[in-house]
Amino acid sequence: MTIATSAHPVAPRAPDGPYVGRFAPSPSGPLHFGSLVAAVGSFLDARSHDGRWLVRIEDLDPPREKPGAADDILRTLETFELHWDGQVMRQSGRKAAYAAALVRLSQRNLLHACDCTRSEIAALAANRERQAGQADDLFHPGQCPVHRSRIERPPGVAWRLRVPRGFVSFDDRSLGAQSLDVAATVGNFVLRRRDGFFAYQLAVVVDDAHQAVTDVVRGCDLLASTARQILLQQALGLPRPRYLHLPLAVDDRGLKLSKSGDAPAAGRCTPGAQLVAVLEFLGQSPPEALRGATAREVLAWGRAHWRMDGFAGRAAGTAPLGAITGAAG
């Protein structure tokens, strides 16, 4: 395949129409306090703008999924009165759309076929200092570091986006102006893996456009992904949503709460009290009288009083002790 040397020429289009937000969890485990923050923040931002709030299950990575997790997540959202609009989209049923996007990128000579193994990429000098949790962000140079003959190539190749040089800039509604040189920090990133599974970065861009999402509200752990997604939006000629990255909930060691790790699930016995804890985490200053309220009442108050200045500029915060130990549920 011939690879063009030009940068992506398609300028991003602004989102049109009324506000459409979404919550897009992966079914790698039950919702915990950190994912509840993302759900509540995106829900309240949408409702405070009289917008729609969609739910999308990002079930593209079967090895990481836990049986029954997707249905458990949906039941938890209903328990917390976080009711979505329309039908739940599941990415496992969208493979044809992702394949079509790859064809479009191939036609524009923007794909790079890569047969590097993860260990070969990790061994590069630029990746030796990366933490274990940054495996998905391993730097890949413009050319594969290992050159093989056709006979030597392992089965399957990964398809990567050829990333142009230069900074990608955007305004985050909470954190302000952001700028990242994707070519220098991430390089050519994966769109379809060697095992044939489509990558998160491609799927999220295709699906946000398909669902006419105007506003992406999510945790700061995905802030670094935004520049990559903007490059894909430009390459595919898709609109660029507005972005709002919420503070990341961390434990007392500063580590992110994780669904696939040991973070306790959000309990369903006291949804109102847990929603109050989320509002406090987001600096919304809920009144003391709200502690005994129902989930519906807490969300009604949150919608009427939603304000970004309670968390603006904050990238992370320590989750309340009960959310870390599981004592709150």
Q: pLDDT per residue over 107-153, tens digit each?
A: 999 998 888 777 777 777 677 766 544 445 777 777 776 665 554 55
Q: What Å distances lie between residue 187 and 136, 165, 278, 316, CA to CA?
A: 12, 9, 36, 26
Q: What mean pLDDT is predicted for residues 262-288?
A: 87
- Do residues 21 and 48 make contact, with C-beta atoms less than 8 angstroms apart? no
If you search the block for the tokens 């929603």, which residue do you land on? Answer: 275
Q: What pLDDT was estimated at residue 254?
A: 77
Q: What pLDDT was estimated at residue 11?
A: 39
Closest CA to 7 of 235, 237, 284: 235
Query: What is the amino acid identity at position 278?
Result: V
CA separation for the pair 44, 51 (Å, rounded) = 10
Where residue 111 falls (left for φ over 0; alpha for ψ -120 to 50; beta otherwise) is beta
CA separation for the pair 244, 22 (Å, rounded) = 12
Q: What mean pLDDT is predicted for residues 189-203?
A: 94
CA separation for the pair 22, 214 (Å, rounded) = 9
Q: What Å distances lie between residue 117 and 61, 120, 145, CA to CA?
A: 18, 5, 10
- DSSP 8-state secondary structure symbol assigned to residue 328: T
Q: What pLDDT was estimated at residue 257?
A: 74
| Predicted TM-score of the model (pTM) | 0.88
What average pLDDT does the structure give for the chain?
Answer: 86
CA separation for the pair 184, 182 (Å, rounded) = 5
Helix axes 223-236, 95-107, angle to 10 degrees: 70
Q: What mean pLDDT is predicted for residues 1-22?
A: 54
Predicted confidence band of residue 1 (pLDDT cuts 50, 70, 90): very low
Closest CA to 139 of 172, 180, 198: 180
215 or 8, which is more confident?
215
- DSSP 8-state secondary structure symbol assigned to residue 220: G
Q: Which residues pair with 55 in a beta bridge?
A: 23
pLDDT at residue 293 greater than cutoff 90: yes
Q: What pLDDT was estimated at residue 153?
A: 55
Q: What pLDDT was estimated at residue 16?
A: 64
Q: What Å distances lie between residue 206 and 6, 160, 184, 236, CA to CA?
A: 23, 16, 25, 9
Predicted confidence band of residue 15 (pLDDT cuts 50, 70, 90): low
pLDDT at residue 327 greater than cutoff 60: no
Q: What Å distances lie between residue 156 and 65, 251, 328, CA to CA?
A: 23, 39, 47
| 144 phi and psi angles, rounded to 5 deg | -65, 135
253 or 4, which is more confident?
253
pLDDT tens digits along 22-55 = 999 999 988 999 999 999 999 999 999 999 999 9
Q: What pLDDT was estimated at residue 23?
A: 98
Q: What pLDDT was estimated at residue 290?
A: 94
Q: Are strands 248-250 and 242-246 parallel, antiparallel or unpaired?
A: unpaired
By residue count, the chain amounts to 329
How many CB atoms are located within 10 Å of the residue 136 CB? 13
Q: What pLDDT was estimated at residue 150?
A: 52
As a whole-number percent, the residues of the chain with pLDDT over 70 amount to: 83
Q: What Å distances lie between residue 98 and 68, 101, 169, 194, 307, CA to CA?
A: 25, 5, 25, 15, 36
252 or 325, which is more confident?
252
